[in-house]
Each structure stands twice: as C-alpha cells, then as structure tokens.
C-alpha cells in the first residue's frame, strides 16, 4: 500500500498525471468498443468470413468478462500496477496482431487476447481511483473517466468509418499502439505503490473453473438463438456443462485458502445488491446502444453517423450526472441518489417505448440523454459505496465484481433482447428489412429494456440502509486510501 495527499482533483494536482494515465488507459477500452463496428464491411471484404464476423464482438466480450474476477483477485495480492501494466501490454500485443491478421479466424483469436487485456485495464483503473481518491473525490473523478466514454462514443465510429472508407481498416487496431505506449509510460512514471509483501496461495483451480464455467454460460447466452437454437443439443450441453462447472467452482471456493471469488462478495447485502444493480445497468446500456442505431437506420433510413450520434447522447448524459453525483449522495445518501437516478432512467426508457411507434431522431436522442443522466446517478454511488465499505486488500475484488456484473448484464441482454427481436422477425418473411417490422421488433426490445430498468429499481430499494452512514464510509475510505507517489 501507498499513501496520497488530498491535494484536490484535476490534471494539475499531484495525482493529475495518474488521472491522465487512467483516462488514456480507459480510452483504449472505450474506443475499441465503438470503432470496430463501423469497419466490419471493410474487414469482411478483405479477409472474408462474413458469417463469422459477430465473433469479433462476442469473443472480445467473452474474454473480457471472464477474466475480470481473476485480475481483480490478483490485484489484491500483487498490487494494481503490475496487473494494469500487464493488461496494457497484452492489449498492445494483441492490437498489433489484429492489425496484421490474415484471416477472420486469426482476427477472432487475436480479439480474444485483446479482450483479456481489456479485462485487466478497466477494472484496475476503477480500483486505483478507489485507492488514491477519497470517497468525496471519487464522484468527480468518475466524471473524468465517464467523459472518456462520451468522447469515444463520438470519435470511435467516426475514426472507424474514416479508416474503412480509405481502405485501411487495420489502422483501427494499430491506432492503439501509441495510446498503449503513452498509458504505460505515464503509469510507470507517475504511479507508485508499496505493497505489504506476504505469502499467498493462489487459487489456480478456482480461477480455471471460474473461467471455464463463465465462458460456457456467457457463450450460451451470446450465441443461443443465433448460432444454434435454444432447445438444441448444443445449447443444452453448453449451459449444462457450464452450470456443472460453476457448481464445482462454488464447492472449491468454500475450501480454498484464498478464493479467487470469495463467498463474502455475495453474502454481504451491500455488495450483493450493488452487483445486482450493476447487472441491470449493463442490460439497459446494451439494449439501447445495440438497438437504437438499428431502429433509426431501419425505420427512417438515417445515416449511420446520425444514428450513432443519437445513441451517443446516452454516453454524454452519463458523465454529466456522474461528475455531480457526489453533491447528492453526501447529502441524501447513496441509496436515495441511486433511486433518483434509476427513476430518471425509467422515465427515459418509458418515453422511448411510448414514442417508438413514430420514430423521430431528436426524440430518441433526448430519451437516450435522459437515460444516461439517470445511469450516471446510479453507477457512481453504488460503486463508491461498495468500494468504501471494504479495506484495500478487498477493494480489487469488490470493484472487479461490480464491473463483472455489468458485463454479465450486457451478455444476458444479448440473449434476451436478441430473442425478443428475432421472435418478431421470424414471423414476417424478410422482416429484418421491413421498416414496420423493425419498428415492432425494436419497440418490443425497448419494452424489455424498460422491464430491466424497473427490476433495477427493485434492486436499489433492496440496497441496505447505508445512507445514514455516509460520513462513516467516507472516513473509512480516507483512512484506507493510498496516499502517495513516491
């Protein structure tokens, strides 16, 4: 552990270089999540494999999701710096490999490596924020990090389209090289931590079982109804073996000296409910970011850029509210702030659902912006409440679990929302190209997103009454925070 001085939040503070490095690191993951989609036609034209291109996203998401708990636990053992630097190095290597990929299978394989790198970078950035900033400061810092996603939501598709239009899609991956080098150099130079060295027993068996079980379960959720039928032997086998391995994992964790995913993560009510809320956030985010562009393109024949900007309003609203969340939760508490936020998100998704039958770009953009405002008021307080309730040596696991739950929510969203839309498309020959059918299918998806938002309200209500303990949590965070640099 190390120490840090509370010298303010911003680029000019002593912790400013670390903040910039974390923003650049987060930008690697943020841009990658938006830049590839716009270049898919160019990629397929060059290396082939049209039927396999969805795996460019599925493989990346799968690798990122299953690796988060493992990295989170390791960071509590060896420290944050080695893990995030390893993640950046792996992201750098895999980006170079993606840039020289000679076939679709090779590109998919390299995307798996890229996902493994991303699984270390983003959780560690969030955990380091929890370490070096007090609970009071974290909301403002979360706003800085959220702004990276807002910027990426606009620049990512633009850059991807630009590279694709000039026939150099490989540039979208090679662009990561200077960003990785910059982020790594800044972290090596500015971020220093002192770890209390102790002998640890790494839970290798638990890590392998967790990775295999979650890989199969998420794979089943991602590809069910798409690559194979839900009731097919393949689907049943994938879910069956995944469930069996997860049951074995639970038994192993009960006996492990230092489990990779400790049982207390789900036994503590605060951590369990905040993870459930994060799960809901992932589902809501995925439902809108995946289907709003399709909705506008298919129903109004708008340009891809305009459709992308409409959904980008969501990631613009998020950092605005996230940066101001601290003004709320230290006055009215974490739970009340999250409740206000999720109700705002419910209002946004409700209006979006009610107006879906009459597609309108400005209305959709405003609704997405409102939902983003709401989610920013939810995501920040629940993460900070969870981080502030534990000591340094548990904070990595807690942060990783919160982000892992969000990834799982996104993955389950793929299955549920996709099944909803496909059930409507299947009833109309050529329905996926018929504007009215697209409106009907997307409206059904928006209803499912609204249900997800309402269920998230229930999870927020179930969150324990830590509101009156805000000052205690803050004091604990300040006492346990890193302090240093040097």
Residue 476: which pLDDT band, with cuts at 50, 70 and 90? very low
The Cα 258–Cα 51 span in angstroms is 43
Q: What angle do CA 468, 473, 476 make, to 5 degrees?
A: 150
143 vs 481, more confident: 143
pLDDT at 200: 62
Residue 466: which pLDDT band, with cuts at 50, 70 and 90? low
Cα Rg of the chain, angstroms? 22
**194 dihedral zone (left: phi>0; alpha: psi -120 to 50; beta):** beta
Q: What is the dihedral of CA 368, 373, 378, 380, to 10 degrees?
A: 120
| Helices 334-355 and 269-300, axial angle in degrees (round to 10) | 20
Handedness of CA 410, 414, 419, 420 (dihedral sign): positive
For 58-83, what is the mean pLDDT? 83
For 334-356, what is the mean pLDDT? 94
The Cα 422–Cα 425 span in angstroms is 5
The 8-class DSSP code of residue 451 comes to H
Whether residue 375 has pLDDT greater than 90: yes
Q: Locate tokens 């393949």: which residue?
A: 234
| Helices 361-388 and 269-300, axial angle in degrees (round to 10) | 160
Whether residue 63 has pLDDT greater than 90: no
pLDDT at 272: 92
Whether residue 468 has pLDDT greater than 50: no
For 360-388, what is the mean pLDDT? 91
Share of the chain above pLDDT 90, in %: 25
The answer to whether 282 and 413 are in contact (CB under 8 A) is: yes
For 393-422, what is the mean pLDDT? 80
221-226: long-range contacts (C-beta < 8 A, 24 or more apart)?
221/411, 221/412, 221/414, 221/415, 222/58, 222/61, 222/62, 222/411, 222/414, 222/415, 223/58, 224/415, 224/419, 225/415, 225/418, 225/419, 225/422, 226/54, 226/418, 226/422
Nearest to 22 by CA among 194, 183, 192: 183
What pTM was estimated for this model as a whole? 0.78
For 98-107, what is the mean pLDDT? 90
Contacts of 201 (CB under 8 A, 6+ apart): 256, 257, 258
DSSP for 114-151, please give it. HHHHHHHHHHHHHHHHHHHS-HHHHHHHHHHHHHHHHH
The Cα 471–Cα 77 span in angstroms is 29
Task: Tell me if residue 228 falls in helix, strand or coil.
Answer: strand
* Structural domains in the chain plus CATH codes: 9-193 (1.20.1250.20), 204-257 (no CATH), 265-465 (1.20.1250.20)
The 8-class DSSP code of residue 223 comes to H
Whether residue 258 has pLDDT greater than 80: no
Residue 142: which pLDDT band, with cuts at 50, 70 and 90? confident
pLDDT at 71: 87
The answer to whether 461 and 339 are in contact (CB under 8 A) is: yes
For 286-300, what is the mean pLDDT? 80
Lowest mean pLDDT among 11-25, 235-249, 291-305: 291-305
Lowest mean pLDDT among 20-29, 43-52, 86-95, 170-179: 43-52
For 453-464, what is the mean pLDDT? 94
42 vs 208, more confident: 208
Residue 372: which pLDDT band, with cuts at 50, 70 and 90? very high
Residue 54: which pLDDT band, with cuts at 50, 70 and 90? low
Lowest mean pLDDT among 90-94, 215-219, 234-238, 305-309: 305-309
Q: How many CB atoms lie within 10 A of CB 229?
A: 11
The Cα 486–Cα 467 span in angstroms is 35
The answer to whether 362 and 450 are in contact (CB under 8 A) is: no
Contacts of 185 (CB under 8 A, 6+ apart): none
The answer to whether 366 and 313 are in contact (CB under 8 A) is: yes
Nearest to 446 by CA among 299, 309, 332, 283: 283
Q: What is the dihedral of CA 457, 458, 463, 469, to 10 degrees?
A: 50
Whether residue 439 has pLDDT greater than 60: yes
The Cα 457–Cα 478 span in angstroms is 30
pLDDT at 477: 40
Q: What is the dihedral of CA 363, 366, 370, 376, to 10 degrees?
A: 140
Nearest to 291 by CA among 268, 271, 273, 307: 307
The Cα 47–Cα 436 span in angstroms is 34
Residue 91: which pLDDT band, with cuts at 50, 70 and 90? very high
CA atoms lying within 13 Å on the CB side of residue 371: 36
Give me the chain's average pLDDT, please: 81
The Cα 423–Cα 265 span in angstroms is 37
Lowest mean pLDDT among 141-145, 269-273, 477-481: 477-481
Handedness of CA 73, 74, 79, 82 (dihedral sign): negative
For 230-244, what is the mean pLDDT? 91
For 246-263, what is the mean pLDDT? 84
């Amino acid at each position: 552990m190390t120490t840090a001085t509370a010298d303010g939040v911003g680029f000019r503070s002593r912790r400013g270089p670390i903040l910039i490095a974390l923003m650049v690191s987060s930008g690697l993951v943020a841009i990658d999540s938006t830049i590839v989609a716009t270049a898919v036609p160019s990629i397929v034209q060059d290396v082939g494999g049209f039927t396999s291109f969805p795996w460019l996203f599925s493989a990346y998401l799968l690798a990122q999701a299953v690796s988060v708990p493992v990295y989170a636990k390791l960071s509590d053992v060896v420290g944050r710096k080695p893990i995030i630097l390893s993640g950046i190095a792996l992201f750098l290597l895999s980006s170079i490999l993606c840039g020289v990929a000679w076939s679709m299978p090779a590109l998919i394989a390299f995307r798996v490596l890229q996902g493994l790198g991303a699984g270390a970078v983003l959780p560690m950035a969030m955990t380091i924020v929890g370490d070096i900033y007090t609970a009071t400061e974290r909301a403002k810092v979360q706003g800085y990090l959220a702004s990276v996603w807002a910027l990426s939501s606009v620049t990512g598709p633009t850059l991807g389209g630009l590279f694709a239009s000039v026939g150099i899609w490989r540039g979208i991956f090679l662009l990561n090289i200077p960003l990785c080098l910059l982020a790594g150099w800044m972290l090596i130079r500015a971020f220093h931590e002192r770890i209390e060295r102790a002998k640890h027993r790494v839970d290798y068996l638990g890590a392998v079982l967790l990775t295999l079980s979650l890989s199969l379960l998420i794979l089943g959720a991602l590809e069910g109804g798409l690559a194979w039928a839900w009731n097919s032997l393949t689907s049943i086998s994938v879910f069956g073996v995944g469930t069996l391995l997860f049951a074995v994992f639970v038994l192993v964790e009960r006996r492990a000296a230092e489990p990779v995913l400790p049982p207390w993560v789900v036994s503590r009510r605060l951590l369990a409910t905040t993870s459930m809320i994060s799960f809901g956030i992932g589902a809501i985010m995925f439902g809108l970011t995946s289907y709003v562009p399709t909705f506008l393109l298919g129903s109004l024949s708008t340009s891809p850029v305009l459709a992308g900007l409409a959904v980008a309003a969501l990631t613009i609203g998020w950092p605005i509210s996230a940066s101001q969340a601290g003004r709320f939760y230290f006055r009215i508490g974490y739970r009340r702030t999250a409740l206000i936020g999720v109700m705002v998100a419910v209002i946004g998704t409700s209006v979006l659902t009610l107006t879906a039958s009459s597609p309108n770009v400005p209305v959709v953009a405003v609704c997405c912006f409102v939902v983003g405002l709401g989610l920013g008021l939810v995501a920040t307080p629940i993460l900070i409440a969870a981080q502030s309730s534990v000591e340094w040596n548990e904070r990595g696991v807690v942060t990783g679990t919160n982000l892992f739950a969000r990834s799982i929510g996104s993955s389950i969203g793929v299955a549920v929302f996709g099944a909803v839309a496909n059930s409507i498309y299947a009833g109309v020959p050529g329905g996926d190209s018929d504007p009215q059918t697209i409106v009907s299918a997307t409206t059904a998806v928006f209803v499912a997103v609204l249900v997800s938002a309402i269920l998230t309200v229930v999870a927020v209500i179930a969150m324990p009454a830590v509101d009156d303990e805000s000052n205690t949590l803050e004091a604990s965070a300040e006492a346990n925070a890193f302090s240093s640099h040097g």
